[in-house]
Amino acid sequence: MKNVTITVEESALEWVRIEAAKRNSSVSRLVGEMLTQKMHQDTAYEQAMRGALRFEPIAFEGAYLKRDEIYADRLDRFR
């Protein structure tokens, strides 16, 4: 593991100190865990996006329905 120096707002530093204390952890460990979690979330999202973009669009054939045709069965219930 590597050590880094970061600059944060005072309010963020106060929050992370309290969170670390609640979890019986150090600020360093908590920030490291948060960064690791963020990295995994971003990686999972990117993989899902690449997977979704692999699909070929389905070609639509035929005429588009008109609004009245789409809602005809609903309108019939109220008549």
Q: Is the pLDDT of residue 76 over 80?
A: no
Residue 20 CB partners (closer than 8 Å, separation 6+): 26, 27, 29, 30
Q: Is the pLDDT of residue 20 over 90?
A: yes
36-74 pLDDT, tens per residue? 999 999 999 999 999 988 888 888 888 888 888 888 877
Structure tokens at 70: 């789409």
Average pLDDT, the chain: 90
Taking alpha carbons only, the member of 7, 5, 26 closest to residue 17 is 26
Q: What is the pLDDT of residue 44?
A: 94
% of the chain exceeding 70 in pLDDT: 96
Give kind and range of the element (H or E) at residue 70: helix 67-70
Stated pTM of the model: 0.60
